Amino acid sequence: MLHLVYHIRLSDEAESDQAAFWAWLQEREKWFYDGLDTVLATRWAVRTIGTDVHTLEHTVTFADEAAWGRYRRQVSERGHDPAWERRRTEQNRWWHLLDATLLSDPPIPLGLDRTPRSKD
């Protein structure tokens, strides 16, 4: 598995109107990933300890590098549509991307997972 991890700082507007930010993000998640079938999962987390407290980490999971490549091509193609690109770039109102990292799983199964499985 491949995991694209974004590290995001909220804008002043998002900080001052958290209800509007989280509502926008819920809608964005549905809209942005609709039809991007190479995305296996997304995950969001809020940093609560360490550097950059209260920033977000957003993880997008793919089966492999080929799936990630197809995702990048699909997003690039969608970006040629001015309406889609306008909607995508409204994220600049809500956050600032600090960095992005690409992680891959180790070659053998490792880790403990006792989280309940979703029924999706």
Beta strands in the chain (DSSP E): 2-10, 39-46, 56-62, 95-104
| Contact present, 44 and 28 (Cβ < 8 Å) | no
CB atoms within 10 A of CB 32: 19
The four Cα atoms 87, 34, 3, 120 give a dihedral, to 10 degrees, of 140
Domain layout of the chain by residue ranges: 2-104
Query: Can you read off the two tokens belonging to residue 61?
Result: 């999971």
pLDDT per residue as tens digits for the range 22-33: 999 999 999 999
User: Looking at the domain that runs over 2-104, which CATH code has it been given?
Assistant: 3.30.70.100
What pTM value is reported for the model? 0.89
pLDDT per residue as tens digits for the range 4-44: 999 999 999 999 999 999 999 999 999 999 999 999 999 99
